[in-house]
Amino acid sequence: MKEKTLEEINIQHKKLLKAGESANKLKLIIIAEKGKIYDYLKQEHLGRWKDVCNKLNICRRTAYRYIDFYRIVNCYPRILICDLSFESIMATYKLMREYLKHHPTLDEKLRVPLKRTGLKNGNGYFSSSRMVGANNSEAEVLEPGELLAKGHSYGAGWELDDVYYEEDE
């Protein structure tokens, strides 16, 4: 391996930082899409939701968390590009919602649908009609309001536990 100058290392470092930011945004889109699917399945299989989760091999608490995230992103699509992590969004949502009630300009900016997104090295783009929260009339936009997982903390990873949680509906 040849020696690199500090400038070459700095350029590589910036590329790695940008790649990390892009990976986080892609992760958020994937989580929102999962939440969209789980939300649909929960509505369609209301009485059999526990069985559906078992078939998909997902804890209901995790599914609820993804549904909540989908509802937040559906209401505020631009939160996907604010360089916040999934954990940060979920942990601070109630505070953010209260803040936005008193700052309508920011609320309006976060509600603007994303026009398109894509991966530069990938094949194509998602059009705005495919993005979460896109092309929704005011009546169709889900207001997150009170989230499904009432009373649950969406704190960071230090609360992780190797336990499969079961809870009654």
- pLDDT-derived band at 146, boundaries 50, 70, 90: low
Predicted local confidence at residue 22, as pLDDT: 79
pLDDT, tens digit (0-9, with 9 covering 90-100), for 107-123: 999 998 877 655 444 55
Binned at pLDDT 50, 70 and 90, residue 147 comes out as: low
Least confident residue range of 61-70, 109-118, 159-168: 159-168
Element (H, E) at 106: helix 104-111
* 151 pLDDT tier (thresholds 50, 70, 90): low
- Please write down the long-range contacts of 160-166, taking CB distance under 8 Å and 24 or more positions apart: 164/59, 165/59, 165/60, 165/61, 166/60
Rounded mean pLDDT of the chain? 76
Beta strand ranges found along the chain (DSSP E) = 117-118, 125-126
- pLDDT range class, residue 18, cuts 50, 70, 90: confident
